[in-house]
Chain A
Amino acid sequence: MGQGIFLRSTLHAIGTLLFVVLFNFFLFRVVPGDPVTRIARSEGLTLEQREVLAAEYGLDKPVLAQLPGYVASTLTLDFGSSFGSGRPVTKEIGERVGKTALLVGVSTIGSVAIGLVLGVYGAWKRGSAFDTGSMTVSLLLYSVPEGWLSLVLLMVFGAMLGIFPIGGYRSTSNLTGFAYMTDVLNHLVLPALALTLAFVGQYAIIIRSSLLDVMGEEYLDLARAKGIREEHVLWRHAVPNAILPIFTLVFYSFGYIVGGAVVVESIFSWPGLGNLTYKAIASQDFPVLQAAFLLTSASVIFSNLVADLLYGYLDPRVRR
Chain B
Amino acid sequence: MAEPTTGGAGPTTRQLARARRRKARTGFWRDFRRNRIGIVGLVVLVFFVATALFAPLLADPSGLSEATAQGRPFESPSLRYPLGTDEFGRSVLTLLIWGSRISLLVGLLATVGAMTIGSGVAIVGGYYGRASDSILNALTNWFLVIPWIPLAIVLAASLSPGLLTVSIVIAVTSWAPTARLVRAQVLSVKERPYVERARGLGAGNWHVMTRHVLPSVFPIILANTVVTIAVAILSETTLAILGLGDPNSTSWGTIIEGAFAQGAITIGAWWYLLPPGIAISLVVLSFMLVANAMDEVVNPRLRRR
Question: Is the Cβ of A296 less than 8 Å from the Cβ of B147?
Answer: yes
Q: Summarize B's interface: helix, strand, loop or mixed.
A: helix
Question: Is the Cβ of B146 less than 8 Å from the Cβ of A255?
Answer: yes
Question: Is the Cβ of B242 less than 8 Å from the Cβ of A255?
Answer: no
How many angstroms from the CA of A148 to the CA of B234 in the assembled complex? Answer: 10
Instruction: Tell me the count of chain B residues lying within 8 A, CB to CB, of chain A.
Output: 48
Question: Is the Cβ of A258 less than 8 Å from the Cβ of B147?
Answer: yes
How many angstroms from the CA of A32 to the CA of B158 in the assembled complex? Answer: 8
Contact for A159 among B149, B159, B268, CB less than 8 A: B268
How many angstroms from the CA of A146 to the CA of B242 in the assembled complex? Answer: 12
Question: Is residue B237 within 8 Å, beta carbon to beta carbon, of the partner chain?
Answer: yes
Within B267-305, the residues touching A (CB, 8 Å) are: 267-268, 270, 273-274, 276-277, 280-282, 284-285, 288-289, 305
Question: Is residue A82 within 8 Å, beta carbon to beta carbon, of the partner chain?
Answer: no
How many angstroms from the CA of A53 to the CA of B244 in the assembled complex? Answer: 27
Question: Is residue A74 within 8 Å, beta carbon to beta carbon, of the partner chain?
Answer: no
Contact for B142 among A19, A31, A126, A292, CB less than 8 A: A19
The number of chain A residues touching the other chain, given as a range, is 35 or more
How many A-B residue pairs lie within 8 Å, measured between CB atoms? 145
Question: Is the Cβ of A281 less than 8 Å from the Cβ of B265?
Answer: no
How many angstroms from the CA of A260 to the CA of B264 in the assembled complex? Answer: 22
Within B147-185, the residues touching A (CB, 8 Å) are: 147-151, 153-160
Contacts A145-B277, A281-B244 hold; do A262 and B265 have CB atoms under 8 A apart? Answer: no
Question: Is the Cβ of A151 less than 8 Å from the Cβ of B260?
Answer: yes
Given A212-B305, A255-B146, A262-B149, 20 more A-B residue pairs with CB atoms under 8 Å apart are A27-B154, A31-B158, A32-B159, A140-B285, A143-B230, A143-B282, A145-B238, A145-B241, A145-B256, A152-B273, A152-B274, A155-B268, A159-B266, A160-B268, A166-B266, A258-B147, A263-B149, A284-B157, A296-B147, A300-B145
Cβ–Cβ < 8 Å partners of B242 in chain A: 147, 262-263, 266, 278, 281
5 contacts between A and B (CB under 8 A): A27-B154, A147-B241, A151-B260, A212-B305, A292-B150
